[in-house]
Structure 1
Amino acid sequence: MRNHIRFLIFISLLLLNGNLLFAQRQAGEITKRLNRAGFENIRVFPYGNTVTVSYENSRYRNKATALSEILDSLSGYGYDTLKVITLVKDLPVVITKLSASVWKQYKASQITGIEMARQITISYNTDAVWNTLSNRMSTHPHINKIDIVVYPQVSIMNVQFNRNYEVQLNIAPALEVSLWRGMKFTGQVIFPVVNDYRFGEVGTLIRAGFVTLAQEFRLPGTIQGRAVVGKFNADRYGADMTLTKFLFGGVSYLSANAGYTGMYRYVSSNWYRDDLSTLTWFLKSGYFYKPYDMQLDITAGRYLMGDYGLRGDVTRYWGETSIGFYAMVAGSKFNGGFHFTIPLLPKRNRKNRSFEVRTPYYFDWEYNAGTEFNKGQIYKTRPNE
């Protein structure tokens, strides 16, 4: 009897070790495949009929294209359930969960994209799943990789009767590098190309743009945060923090922002820096209406001149392109306008690079229909904001 028990234990251990070795081998194969595809911060954890993967996309301009390639790669390894965590600066942002068979049916045109989307679970609460991956060493990390992103800057004014438009055009390359998880340094230089009179003498100078140190972080649940210090645009320097809570699988959100800044400006051939003295704050909420691919946002808060205001935005998306309209009131002044975003080439970057010179993924622009230059003004903290 004892010999039978020992034999069963021996067989069980052999099977267990065999399963572990098989899982480790498949994890290694998946890691190599995703690495060859150009993804970063790859972690793989196979367990039973489920495989969990984290990745960071710096390869494709379109995030959906990147996720699609990840799912294509995973669906061929025989697992029933796929769990994919999308990272930004090695921080978990969103988890996508679906059946491998559903993805295969969609790729074979047996079900529509709408039918497939109904069977996908998307959540910004990544805590439980991320705990199974966070202690694993990532493959192909993003840390210490340098991007030189060449941003175009275009400003147009129509406030004078004797000419139709005044134009400012700059080329503003920015060095962007991450030195640890969640961190990003940005150092930008602005080179003027065209500068009409209304934009002032400073527009003719080669000058610093954004020079910032930003740290992104996560709090328990679906709360994500970003803190940044440095030199911003709108002649501002100081500190800024934003907390965002995602709701209902990411279709809605609540956000709170606060900033404490001073002025840094060019006057009479000299640069001047004021003390930190200006407090701004904003509360923002939004909802994405899927049937029309429409984003609705409303913002209330305190602007740079101490005026309080309210702004509403409606934005319609067509793939990677969007156009929207806004209306606002600040300090009893009414204003409005439109904004748009268009994708820029290339659609994808080089694989496994440690240094890259590229254009930004998107160009966005906003038109202010009024002539109000004091009320309702606020700064930005990064070039692609």
Structure 2
Amino acid sequence: MRYRNSNMRKCLATKTIARCAALFLFCLLPLKGICQTGESTVNTLVEMGFENVGWTEDGKERVYVLQNSAYRLNGVGIGKAVDIIQKMGLPDKKPCRVIVLDNNVPQISLYYKPIIGDSVPEASRRDWNVSYDLGGTWKEARKIGRKNSSLFKVDVVVYPEVSLKNLIITQIYQVLFNLSPAVEVSFWKGMKLTAQVVIPVYNDGYGSLADKVHPGFLTLQQTVRLPYNMWITGTVGTFNSNRFGGDIKVKHVLMTDERFSFEGRIGLTATDQWDGFRLNYGTKTRLTWDLGANFYWPQYNLQASAKFAQYLLGEKGIRVDFIRHFRYCSIGFYAMKAQGAKSNGGFRFQIALPPYKYKRKGYIPRVTLSQNMGIAYNAGNERYYYKGYRTNPSENIMRDNSFNPYFIKSELLNF
């Protein structure tokens, strides 16, 4: 009898241990599944060509971090990433946030909050809220390791450049057409080095210097994001419009209403001119600046802006722009008036160039056309006043709007 009781006690003890082990493993399974889901989502995004991809999770929400380097149009690329996250990367009954970077600097976030009580969340693109708000988890998310880093990867971007002028009665237009490849690379967060060479293809009426191969933009640029929806970009080097020097640009988006934003810019530059690869430069500097406000009308993706500025000749004036943004282009018109100068205006447009999808193979330099190409038409034929400069060949109205949360939201809905 004692032997039988002893066996029974051993059997009961064995069953108890087995049940406890099974319960312990059962509790671990959901955690293991979530980890695999987040990691597999990151791997899929990396395979698609996204860079600086990572993820983290706490008790409140899951966060993905990524940079669109696979699609020319940010709205399309972000939409593709959202589709993958919806399909395989949403947490169980917990909000999810996607933070989108540009050159490792956070720009916007997309936030999805499931309906409590749903057994299986069925998210769609319209369920994501897009804003400049990064959420409280960004402090932790910025520390996570990221896959497929964009640092030290070289892009050779070919910028087609067309200039037209109508100054001769017997000739419709004088034309200058260049192909200007630029090496673009980032060595640390927010930094960008640009080194461009201008290769003349066709020159009719723009002088003998324009016939020579010569450097274009040679710049070192640094961007940082500060609290309260503020970005600061500083640039030094040689710009367009025959200028070299330094420039600082500040942008602030209202936290209470993201349709409104304010921007300012100040630069100290002097003249330069390339004779082939020989640089002739001046020592007299010019101070230029502008202060402006912007309003975005989401229903029509229409942007209205007004700026008060001081231009290169020292004249002060005001400028207004109205621009409508579409997926493949941005079109608008402008008007300006400065002291001592007649009123001027015109239209401007920017068009996205194919290919619209491209991938990078490791650290092999990637050769592409510029993201877009545009022209500004000077209706008043003003040749002396209202002159300024750009600090980067990719600086344009379409690029400036590419991370607008209202525009990204419209792209998600209209895809």
Deviates more, 1:185-194 or 1:90-99: 90-99
Cα deviation, 1:257-281, whole Å, max 9, x if unaligned, reads 0101111125899742112621111
Partner in structure 2 of residue 380 of structure 1: 390
Contact persistence 2:317–2:336 (CA under 8 A): yes
Alpha-carbon separation, structure 2, partners of 1:284 and 1:320: 26
Q: Does 1:40 align with 2:51?
A: yes
- What stretches of structure 1 of length at least 5 have no aligned partner? 1-6, 108-115
Partner in structure 2 of residue 341 of structure 1: 350
Contact persistence 1:27–1:46 (CA under 8 A): no
Partner in structure 2 of residue 82 of structure 1: 96
Query: Once the 2 structures are TM-superposed, how far is the Cα of residue 374 of structure 1 from its aligned partner?
Result: 1.7
Cα deviation, 1:64-85, whole Å, max 9, x if unaligned, reads 1111122111223452422010
Q: Does 1:210 align with 2:214?
A: no
Partner in structure 2 of residue 194 of structure 1: 202
User: Which residue type is aligned with residue 341 of structure 1?
Assistant: Q
Alpha-carbon separation, structure 1, partners of 2:83 and 2:124: 11
CA 1:236–1:20 in 2, change beyond 3 Å: closer, same or farther?
Answer: same
User: Which residue type is aligned with residue 211 of structure 2?
Assistant: T
Task: Select the residue among 168, 171, 174 that pairs with 1:160.
Answer: 168
Partner in structure 1 of residue 193 of structure 2: 185
Contact persistence 2:214–2:277 (CA under 8 A): no
- Mapping 1:251-290, distance limit 5 Å: 251-266=259-274, 271-275=279-283, 277-290=285-298
Alpha-carbon separation, structure 1, partners of 2:275 and 2:150: 41
Task: Select the residue among 120, 125, 128 that pairs with 2:133.
Answer: 125
Task: Select the residue among 286, 289, 299 that pairs with 1:291.
Answer: 299
Cα deviation, 1:217-272, whole Å, max 9, x if unaligned, reads 01112001110100000010000011101125643210010101111125899742
Give the SS at the match of 1:73. Answer: helix
Give the SS at the match of 1:87. Answer: strand
Query: Once the 2 structures are TM-superposed, how far is the Cα of residue 352 of structure 1 from its aligned partner?
Result: 4.5
TM-score in terms of structure 2 length: 0.82
Q: Does 1:234 align with 2:241?
A: yes
Query: Once the 2 structures are TM-superposed, how far is the Cα of residue 320 of structure 1 from its aligned partner?
Result: 2.2
Cα deviation, 1:87-123, whole Å, max 9, x if unaligned, reads 011111111112367994646xxxxxxxx2xx54322
How many residues are paired up? 368
CA 1:82–1:127 in 2, change beyond 3 Å: closer, same or farther?
Answer: closer
Name the structure, 1 or 2, with higher relative contact order (CA <8 Å, separation 6+): 2
Give the SS at the match of 2:84. Answer: helix
Q: Does 1:319 align with 2:330?
A: no
Partner in structure 2 of residue 67 of structure 1: 78
Alpha-carbon separation, structure 1, partners of 2:394 and 2:21: 60
The structure having more radius of gyration, on CA atoms, is 2
User: Which residue type is aligned with residue 349 of structure 2?
Assistant: F
Identity fraction in percent: 29
Partner in structure 1 of residue 314 of structure 2: 306
User: Which residue type is aligned with residue 25 of structure 1?
Assistant: Q
Query: Once the 2 structures are TM-superposed, how far is the Cα of residue 373 of structure 1 from its aligned partner?
Result: 1.7
Alpha-carbon separation, structure 1, partners of 2:23 and 2:385: 74
Partner in structure 1 of residue 251 of structure 2: 244
Contact persistence 1:223–1:246 (CA under 8 A): yes
Alpha-carbon separation, structure 2, partners of 1:269 and 1:213: 19
Alpha-carbon separation, structure 2, partners of 1:351 and 1:173: 18
Query: Once the 2 structures are TM-superposed, how far is the Cα of residue 189 of structure 1 from its aligned partner?
Result: 0.3
Deviates more, 1:93-102 or 1:290-299: 93-102
Alpha-carbon separation, structure 2, partners of 1:100 and 1:195: 59
CA 1:264–1:12 in 2, change beyond 3 Å: closer, same or farther?
Answer: farther
Deviates more, 1:201-210 or 1:272-281: 272-281
Partner in structure 1 of residue 375 of structure 2: 365
Task: Select the residue among 220, 226, 229 that pairs with 2:227.
Answer: 220
Deviates more, 1:273-282 or 1:22-31: 22-31
Alpha-carbon separation, structure 1, partners of 2:336 and 2:296: 20
Task: Select the residue among 142, 166, 175 that pairs with 2:150.
Answer: 142
Task: Select the residue among 167, 177, 181 that pairs with 1:169.
Answer: 177
Give the SS at the match of 2:377. Answer: strand
Partner in structure 2 of residue 4 of structure 1: none
Give the SS at the match of 1:131. Answer: helix
Contact persistence 2:159–2:369 (CA under 8 A): yes
Query: Once the 2 structures are TM-superposed, how far is the Cα of residue 165 of structure 1 from its aligned partner?
Result: 0.9
- What stretches of structure 2 of length at least 5 have no aligned partner? 1-16, 396-415
Query: Once the 2 structures are TM-superposed, how far is the Cα of residue 359 of structure 1 from its aligned partner?
Result: 0.3
Task: Select the residue among 38, 41, 44 that pairs with 1:30.
Answer: 41
Alpha-carbon separation, structure 1, partners of 2:223 and 2:360: 25
TM-score in terms of structure 1 length: 0.88
CA 1:74–1:321 in 2, change beyond 3 Å: closer, same or farther?
Answer: same
